[in-house]
Amino acid sequence: MHQIAGNRVDWKAIREDFPILHEQAHGHPLIYFDNAATSQKPRHVLDALRHYYEHENANVHRGLHELSSRATEAYEKSRKRVASYVGAATADEIVFTRGTTESINLVAQAWGGKFLRAGDAILLTEMEHHSNLVPWQLLAERTGARLRFVPVRDDGTLALDQLPALLTPEVKLFAFTHISNSLGTINPVAELCAKAQAVGALTLVDGAQSIGHLPIDVQKLGCDFLAFSGHKMCGPTGIGALYGRAEILDALPPWHGGGEMIVSVSLEKSAFKKPPHRFEAGTPNIAGAIGLAAAIDYIEKIGRAEIFKHDVDLANYATRRLAELPGIRILGPSTERGALVGFVMEAAHPHDLTTFADQYGLAMRGGHHCNQPLMRRFGVTGTTRASFYFYNTTAEIDRMIEILHAAVRFFS
């Protein structure tokens, strides 16, 4: 691990921790600007996965043998690591899931199925990823509850002046993203949670884009649920977590049935374990949880405050340089933004642009980014998105600008 000299991070040396950054794409050095989709993995995480499979692999919570004890211990230690990372009061508030999407679906099914009634409302925003929209649409259809949406202003921020009219006592849950995956907008989570609490609504924060990028403390933010994925924060795919405040999780019924989540089973009925195990039916993603804990160790050694500062620097630099291009429209706030920039260009459609860039080794994403309603809100069918992480550099952004200039010449 490349550490910090004094309080300065050696960002260049950090790149050496990521073997994949040495890859070539179409004969060019890889420039990986698709981090909002998934991040790359440092050797530290890859080693942790290998170590688990070579020395600890067994099923958890059941085998009365040495390996099962090791696996169980490593798995539960990972839960504690995740709990401390997000500032949860206890490890029992952390449910391992496949990722953000499954975490949100867990709340929609277990909480929504028990507590939501016709006439209730769920408040969302216009900038939600489909994963924080579709589960609530399904729930609304099942229960007769209504969905409401906080509009997005032209500058990519939420129209908070409309909140008093929307956040009324009928609202039982306010679910919103921390950082928009298309706009880069950073929402004022603590303020939104406090306002929701004032009308008795629970809050769910979609932390997919923020979890690996800035310090998060659920108790300071005051949220009731936090959903996130490991793979966007240097961890493996297929592992994520739901933080839920203990007294809320305690009141929820199971959502998946199976082994691992029961106390006793008869042919007619079963008694269920306490949270978090109540919500983890079947053999969990043990290696994934261990890999996630390793990712947390890695990120915390760099420091989330340092990572966020680096993010903002890269995003600001990219925004400034992109503005030099002819016929470009940059979406999202002009002030503070997360580590991504979405844009459209007169010269080329996002798919032509990303195909062109890819041939020069530059990996970006073109399309609607699972944000179709938001794209319509801004009158576009899709954008090109460059999204960064701490191993990216301003030199890579300079190269992106050169490639985009070449694309403008080619397509115009």
Q: Does 345 bind another protein (CB under 8 A)?
A: no
CB of 24 to another protein, least distance (A): 13
**DSSP symbol at 225:** E
Pairing of strands 270-272, 262-265: antiparallel
Contact set for another protein, span 22-81 (CB under 8 A): 26-27
CB of 375 to another protein, least distance (A): 7
Give the chain's length: 412
Task: CB nearer to another protein: give 59 or 137.
Answer: 137
Distances (CA, A) of 208 to 109, 122, 189: 20, 20, 14
Residue 276: asked if its preceding bond is cis (omega within 30°), the reply is yes
Residue type, 210: S
CB of 345 to another protein, least distance (A): 12
- Applying CB under 8 A, among 86, 226, 348, 386 the residue interacting with another protein is 348
Task: CB nearer to another protein: give 300 or 352.
Answer: 352
Q: Does 355 bind another protein (CB under 8 A)?
A: yes
Of 127-135, 143-151, 207-215, 364-372, the window that binds another protein (rule: CB under 8 A) is 364-372
Task: CB nearer to another protein: give 189 or 344.
Answer: 344
Token code pair at residue 228: 């996130």
Task: CB nearer to another protein: give 49 or 380.
Answer: 380
Distances (CA, A) of 87 to 93, 222, 348: 10, 11, 45
Query: Looking at 12-125, which runs of residues are DSSP E strands?
Result: 24-25, 28-29, 31-32, 94-97, 121-125
Token code pair at residue 9: 């991070």
Angle, CA of 313, 87 and 309, to the nearest 5°: 5
CB of 351 within 8 A of CB of 334?
Answer: no
Task: CB nearer to another protein: give 212 or 361.
Answer: 361
Q: Does 410 bind another protein (CB under 8 A)?
A: yes
Q: Does 382 bind another protein (CB under 8 A)?
A: yes
Query: Whose CA is closest to 95, among 210, 223, 254, 201?
Result: 254
- Applying CB under 8 A, among 29, 215, 303, 367 the residue interacting with another protein is 367
Number of residues that bind another protein (CB under 8 A): 21
- Applying CB under 8 A, among 359, 395, 402, 405 the residue interacting with another protein is 359
Residue type, 110: A
- Applying CB under 8 A, among 308, 343, 356, 378 the residue interacting with another protein is 356
**Number of Cα atoms under 13 Å in the Cβ half of residue 362:** 25
Q: Does 156 bind another protein (CB under 8 A)?
A: no
Q: Does 375 bind another protein (CB under 8 A)?
A: yes
Sheet holding 365-367, edge to edge: 328-331, 340-345, 383-387, 365-367
Q: Does 351 bind another protein (CB under 8 A)?
A: yes
Task: CB nearer to another protein: give 282 or 326.
Answer: 326
Catalytic residues: 370
- Applying CB under 8 A, among 368, 374, 396, 400 the residue interacting with another protein is 368
The contact set with another protein (CB under 8 A) reads: 26-27, 348-352, 355-356, 359-360, 366-368, 372, 375, 380-382, 410-411
